[in-house]
Chain A
Amino acid sequence: GAVVSQHPSRVICKSGTSVKIECRSLDFQATTMFWYRQFPKQSLMLMATSNEGSKATYEQGVEKDKFLINHASLTLSTLTVTSAHPEDSSFYICSAILGVGSNQPQHFGDGTRLSIL
């Protein structure tokens, strides 16, 4: 089946640090990737939709200048949390689908647990 790799799995860093998270589709080309944030005991909240070669589409309330998304190739999307603060601590998960309009389901990465001290 389709495999999505996410790296790193865990990050602990000081407040003010910028953190980059990578999401890779290993065995398929993903024109569309999604970034979610999940707080403890809560649901997955969509942050943004990332399309290869174009600007990401952010959900309402998500600061695009704080959560920078780059989808430079068909197999890689990155999320950079800039100047992270303790309230940004969360579980960040990416997912990928084969393409817009595809009937394929989303495949999730293993997630990145971000802890800001």
Chain B
Amino acid sequence: GENVEQHPSTLSVQEGDSAVIKCTYSDSASNYFPWYKQELGKRPQLIIDIRSNVGEKKDQRIAVTLNKTAKHFSLHITETQPEDSAVYFCAASLIYNQGGKLIFGQGTELSVKP
């Protein structure tokens, strides 16, 4: 089955700096890669996603890149703000053959220092 590895497990940056979180996946057939932000005790919230027919997607300060050949994808947050502090999870999914179930990475605890 699919396995998703996420690094780093913790990341501390100064406000205004960029943050990068990386994930690798094992199943080359996976075709959907969402990123979720989870604050303590709350639901995961989708912040951006990318499908396998696209190499890069951007939404304001957040961008995701996908390298299908290498089977890795990354989250980039620019101009970080203290409210970006949270745990971020990547995930991989095989939409059509497995009903869309998500396999999550281990999570990255991002701390943005003012």
Contact = CB atoms under 8 A, between A and B. Distances in A.
A100 B103 CA distance: 16
Interface stretch (B38-46, B56-64, B68-76, B77-85): B38-46
Contacts of A88: none
A76 interface: no
Size class of the contact patch on chain A:
20 to 34
A90 B44 CA distance: 16
A60 to B, nearest CB: 8
Contacts of A101: 95-96, 99-100
A111 B43 contact: yes
Interface string B79-99: 000000000010000011001
Contacts of A42: 106-107
Interface residues of B, number: 23
B31 to A, nearest CB: 10
A21 interface: no
Contacts of A49: 99, 101
Contacts of B96: 100-101
B43 A93 contact: yes
B100 A32 contact: yes
B101 A34 contact: yes
B100 A110 contact: no
Contacts of A105: 34, 46, 49
Interface of A: 32, 34, 42-46, 49, 51, 91, 93, 95, 97, 100-103, 105-111, 113
27 contacts: A32-B99, A32-B100, A43-B107, A44-B44, A44-B104, A45-B104, A49-B99, A91-B41, A93-B43, A93-B44, A100-B99, A100-B100, A101-B95, A101-B96, A101-B99, A102-B95, A105-B34, A105-B46, A106-B46, A106-B100, A106-B102, A107-B46, A108-B43, A108-B44, A108-B45, A110-B43, A111-B42
